[in-house]
Amino acid sequence: LALQAGLPGEATQILDKGFAAKVLGVGPDAPRHARLQALAAKEAAADKAALPQAEREAASAQGGTALVATGLDYVGYGETAKGIPLIEQGLHKGGLKHPDDARLRLGNAYLAAGDKSRATAAFRTVQGDDGSADLARLWLAVSAASP
């Protein structure tokens, strides 16, 4: 699903965890899992190489959608220090079709960076009626329960 959403870095992280836990790469579907991992790695390499150009284009774009997407790409590669400011800039710039989704993703990025207090604050700003507020409440519960 992460690949379909255009987040090959996140897909690679998920697949790597699945292979490490022996949930993927075993059994009759092992060849399919391997092909998916190879596809994710190929797309991630191409995507990561294009990120600097995407960041430049996003900065000059009219709305903040491209900034949020580029920030999410960086977060997917574990580069939260680069990704979070871009997501924040995109939210500030506005013009987002789904701003609550962007705020939800910002909260997830803060969690990935280990900043639980900022994640909590971001999750509390999610007000959407499209399910995003429900997800934010769930993330608040998860982050409150984790050390």
Mind listing the pLDDT tens digit for each residue in 68-101? 999 999 999 999 999 999 999 999 999 999 999 9
Q: Where are the alpha helices (DSSP H) in the chain?
A: 8-20, 30-60, 65-76, 80-93, 99-113, 116-124, 132-145
CA–CA–CA angle 29, 8, 67 (5° rounding) = 160
Instruction: Give the pLDDT band (50/70/90) at residue 1.
Output: very high
Percentage of the residues of the chain whose pLDDT score is greater than 70: 99
Averaged pLDDT for residues 40-44: 96
For 84, half-sphere exposure in the C-beta direction (CA atoms, 13 angstrom radius) is: 16
| Interatomic CA distance for residues 121 and 109, integer angstroms | 12
Quote the pLDDT of residue 5. Answer: 87
pLDDT at 147 over 80: no
pLDDT at 52 over 90: yes
| Interatomic CA distance for residues 53 and 46, integer angstroms | 12
Quote the pLDDT of residue 133. Answer: 94
Residue 71 structure tokens: 């920030």
**Which of 138, 84, 86 shows the shortest CA–CA distance to 110?**
84
**Which of 69, 23, 73 shows the shortest CA–CA distance to 43?**
73
**pTM of whole model > 0.75?**
yes
